[in-house]
Amino acid sequence: MKITGANWLENAAPVMAMLTGAGHRALAVGGCVRNEIFGVPVADVDIATDALPEAVMALAKISGLRAIPTGIDHGTVTVVQGSEPYEITTFRKDVETDGRRAVVAFSSDILDDARRRDFTFNALYVQADGTVIDPLGGLEDTKARRLRFIENAFERIAEDSLRILRYFRFYAWYCGAMDGPDMEAIAASSASIDRLEGLSAERIGAEMRKLLSAPDPSAALALMSQTGVLAQVLPGADPRFIGPLTELESGHPTRWLRRLAALGGAAPATRWRLSKVEGKGLANIQRAMELPSLIEAGYRLGEVAAVDALLVQCASIGIPADPSVITKIKAAAREVFPLKAPYVMDRIPAGKALGIELKRLEKLWIDSGFTLSATALDKMVKP
């Protein structure tokens, strides 16, 4: 197979030529090749080579390119061409692994490099001319949308426990219910769930964010639930509403926090180490579902949280989202309470009583459909 017309490969050509011109191999590898074959946008281009890191640094200097030793002990040098960074990594083989990190040795054999990767469709390489090199049968797996661990699934997971979550993340993005999972991968994941306890909350959260951002993660999450993996990373999570939610999301931006709200589960902000902004976003969706109306939620918490709450609620009871409710939520989010403290401070002194009275008047205003004017509200003040 040959890849043609790929802009990312053309852009990487000068960096690859820097290596091949000195007699080394230069092969784009992994996600860029996989995504190109799947027809998915390519974000990053990684390059594998038989050149040692020191040689890569020297060749970059000769070529006038900026070289950064980002992971030189593990064989990785980042070379910047224009404004585009390329991670160039020497062929490697694992010497020792403990489920989280590996001790590696450099190699000149592409087969060594391919065998230390996780899935067959991530062990595809491509030359600058577009020729695909497939050491382990990943091309056929890719064409069949078959997600398969390289060689022995149990051994690959033992090398790096995160590969359990990567399996389900890639399944969500590249496979689906009709493709069916690889049974060895499912068996190995189910048998190895205790290994997930050794992963940091940050690594788990990073994988789950990506999984929940897939076009339709429902099949992957159902598999995670069946294997016990989902309960391990988020106890109490229930994926049954994700499929209906995904259908309702047509016409709305994909938001993984909305899907997390539908998933439920105990303390995801802690278990996945969400940022303060992410934690607040999730809490706002959850609070919106608890308020008396989603129109009020739109006013108090904003359009995004209220519309997300509406979609989650509709998915949970199996009904379509009413467009008129969405319109009202958006309008409510633009409303501004017309009565301010100075209007009533001549009758109610500043303090707790003033705050209570303003909240009471604000609720009356909300319940009126935001129609009561400042004058009308002022007449309703209770001294």
**197-207 pLDDT tens trace:** 999 999 999 99
Q: Give the DSSP letter of residue 2.
A: B
**354-378 pLDDT tens trace:** 888 889 999 999 999 999 999 899 8
| CATH ID of 1-144, from 3.40.1640.10, 3.30.413.10, 3.40.1160.10, 3.30.460.10 | 3.30.460.10
Closest by CA to 68, choosing from 46, 85, 82, 91, is 85
What CA–CA distances, in Å, run from 222 to 172, 226, 244? 10, 6, 13
Distance of CA 210 to the CA centre of its chain: 2
pLDDT the model gives residue 99: 54
pLDDT the model gives residue 97: 67
pLDDT the model gives residue 102: 67
User: For the whole prediction, is pTM greater than 0.85?
Assistant: yes
pLDDT the model gives residue 62: 95
Return the structure tokens found at 310: 């509406």
Q: Cβ-count burial of 187 within 10 angstroms (0-12 exposed, 13-18 middle, 19+ buried)?
A: middle
Work out the end-to-end distance of the chain between its first and last CA atoms, rounded to an integer number of angstroms.
Answer: 82
Element holding 28 (H helix, E strand): strand 26-29
For strands 125-126 and 132-133, give the pairing: antiparallel
Which range (72-76, 177-181, 357-361) has the least confidence? 177-181
Residue 46 has pLDDT above 60, yes or no: yes
Buried-state track 288-322, b at ≥16 Cβ within 10 A, e below 16: bbebebbbbbbbbbbbbbbbbbbbbbbbeeeeebe
Cα distance between residue 221 and residue 164, in whole Å: 13
Contact 55, 88 (CB under 8 A): no
Residue 53 has pLDDT above 70, yes or no: yes
Cα distance between residue 112 and residue 118, in whole Å: 13
Side chain identity, residue 361: L
> Residue for token digits 């090398």?
159
Within 10 angstroms of residue 228's Cβ, the number of other Cβ atoms is 14
For strands 26-29 and 46-49, give the pairing: antiparallel
For domain 148-249, say whether CATH 1.10.3090.10 is its number. Answer: yes
Between 61 and 101, residue with greater pLDDT? 61
User: How high is the mean pLDDT of the chain?
Assistant: 93
Largest CA distance in the chain: 88
Contact 210, 280 (CB under 8 A): no
- Would you list the domain boundaries of the chain? 1-144, 148-249, 338-383
Cα distance between residue 266 and residue 142, in whole Å: 36
Q: What is the mean pLDDT of residues 325-334?
A: 97
Contact 344, 359 (CB under 8 A): no
What CA–CA distances, in Å, run from 383 to 140, 357, 378? 78, 9, 11
What percentage of the chain exceeds 70 in pLDDT?
A: 97
